[in-house]
């Protein structure tokens, strides 16, 4: 089943190279991807899909398209195009870092290190955290961390490995610990975002941006936590992060509906037309694969996570994927971007497509994405 799903995804991605004409897909409306010129937080996912397809097929058409995206990422960094946010990690891990991992391209490595420096510039004192959004020290945004940032940290961990400079690793480790302490709640659910007092670093409280309410659990935030804490454990070997990933994963899996694919927020009232977020389930599937690769062989929970992974992926492939719909642009239907903001509540999300493909390729061929080297 995984191979059929991969073949379908590869055929669609090849078609999309032509269709997108060098632009980057973001989210869809009415089944058509919104395209941009590499100026959004999501642009690395398209690059990552192209690198995955190239690794799987060795077809130069994917390599050439992926290489072109990296050229665009060089220019983006040079011109500092919409880079005043923490998602520099998503952008450069899946584009230039991927190129370095796949073909040891030195210019790509250098670009990725520059991107890591840019992310480090978002470190805020006295609070000691990476500011999520906006200009550094911004009156409204200066005190905000968000759970999504956990996926940006591998860029910093990797930069320490590459340069021997421990400061990137230290910043990432502190950010992960701060996320664990302030974003993860006692019942293993999570806040999307948390604020600190900008001037003193004192904690203020949790809130949401894309979730149902400030105290609810936004499904995708929980998903970023599952995968992100597992990756922090991989790099730091700090058992607290492995435990955090497992806690968030258990909560996620225990609150799924019968078809094993999440609604958009765990506290949203369930009615006939409540939106799903298939992208959150795709992130968790990829995250569970990472978690399983890190857990001890004799860990009694292995079977539990394995069974849930199988059920979620089967449901995504059989009920959410566009397999057989030849003209479909996206791979996964029923993702939601920002329900209360009225933005693409039931559409394709390019990160949903990316994580779905990453999970499939890891299941089928052990190709695990570009968050770390040496798989
Ligand atoms: N990182 C933004 C989102 O998940 O929508």
For tokens 């996570």, name the residue.
Answer: 305
Task: Give, using CA atoms, the residue closest to atom 5 of ligand 1.
Answer: 337
Handedness of CA 248, 336, 359, 100 (dihedral sign): negative
| Ligand 1 closest atom vs CA 87 | 1
CA distances from 318 to 106, 258, 321, 322 (A): 41, 14, 7, 9
Q: Domain 2-365 belongs to what architecture?
A: Alpha/alpha barrel (1.50)
| Ligand 1 closest atom vs CA 221 | 4
Pocket lined around ligand 1, Cβ cut-off 6 Å? 148, 210, 220
Q: In 10 A of CB 15, how many CB atoms?
A: 14
pLDDT value of residue 374? 83
Q: How confident is the model over 280-298, as pLDDT tens digits?
A: 999 999 999 999 999 999 9
Tell me the pairing of strands 32-36 and 24-29: antiparallel
Nearest to 37 by CA among 49, 26, 50: 26
- So where are the chain's domains? 2-365
> What confidence tier does 375 reach under pLDDT thresholds 50, 70, 90?
low
Enumerate the β-bridge partners of residue 184.
Answer: 190
Q: How confident is the model over 261-279, as a mean pLDDT?
A: 97
User: pTM of the entire structure?
Assistant: 0.98
Q: How confident is the model over 101-130, as pLDDT tens digits?
A: 999 999 999 999 999 999 999 999 999 999
For tokens 């435990």, name the residue.
Answer: 243
Establish how many alpha carbons lie within 13 A of residue 15's alpha carbon, considering only the half-sphere containing its beta carbon: 13
Query: Are the C-beta atoms of 130 and 194 separated by less than 8 Å?
Result: no
Task: Give, using CA atoms, the residue closest to atom 2 of ligand 1.
Answer: 148
Q: How confident is the model over 36-51, as a mean pLDDT?
A: 98
């Amino acid at each position: 089943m995984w191979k059929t799903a991969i073949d379908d995804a590869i055929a669609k991605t090849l078609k999309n190279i032509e269709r997108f004409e060098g632009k980057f897909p973001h989210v869809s409306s009415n089944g058509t991807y919104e395209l941009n010129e590499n100026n959004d937080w999501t642009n690395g996912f398209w690059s990552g899909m192209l690198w995955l397809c190239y690794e799987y097929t060795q077809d130069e058409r994917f390599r050439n398209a992926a290489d072109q995206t990296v050229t665009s990422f060089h220019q983006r960094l040079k011109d500092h195009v919409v880079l005043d946010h923490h998602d520099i990690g998503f952008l450069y891990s899946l584009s230039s870092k991927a190129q370095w991992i796949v073909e040891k391209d030195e210019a790509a490595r250098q670009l990725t290190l520059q991107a890591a420096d840019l992310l480090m510039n978002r470190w805020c004192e006295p609070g000691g955290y990476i500011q999520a959004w906006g200009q550094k020290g911004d009156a409204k945004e200066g005190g905000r961390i968000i759970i999504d940032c956990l996926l940006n940290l591998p860029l910093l961990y990797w930069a320490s490995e590459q340069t021997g400079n421990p400061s990137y690793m230290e910043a990432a480790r502190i950010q992960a610990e701060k996320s664990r302490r302030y974003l993860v709640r006692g019942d293993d659910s999570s806040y999307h975002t948390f604020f600190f007092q900008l001037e003193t670093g004192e904690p203020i409280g949790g809130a949401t941006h894309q979730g149902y309410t400030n105290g609810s659990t936004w499904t995708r935030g929980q998903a970023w936590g599952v995968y992100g804490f597992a990756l922090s454990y991989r790099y730091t070997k700090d058992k607290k992060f492995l435990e955090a990933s497992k806690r968030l994963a258990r909560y996620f899996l225990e609150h799924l509906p019968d078809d094993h694919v999440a609604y958009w927020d765990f506290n949203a009232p369930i009615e006939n037309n409540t939106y799903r977020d298939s992208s959150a389930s795709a992130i968790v599937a990829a995250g569970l694969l990472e978690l399983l690769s890190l857990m001890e062989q004799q860990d009694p929970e292995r079977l539990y996570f394995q069974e849930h992974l199988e059920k979620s992926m089967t449901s995504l492939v059989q009920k959410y994927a566009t397999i057989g719909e030849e003209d479909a642009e996206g791979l996964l239907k029923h993702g939601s971007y920002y329900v209360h903001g009225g933005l693409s509540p039931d559409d394709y999300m390019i990160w949903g497509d990316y994580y779905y493909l990453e999970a499939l390729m890891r299941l089928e061929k052990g190709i695990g994405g570009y968050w770390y080297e040496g798989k």
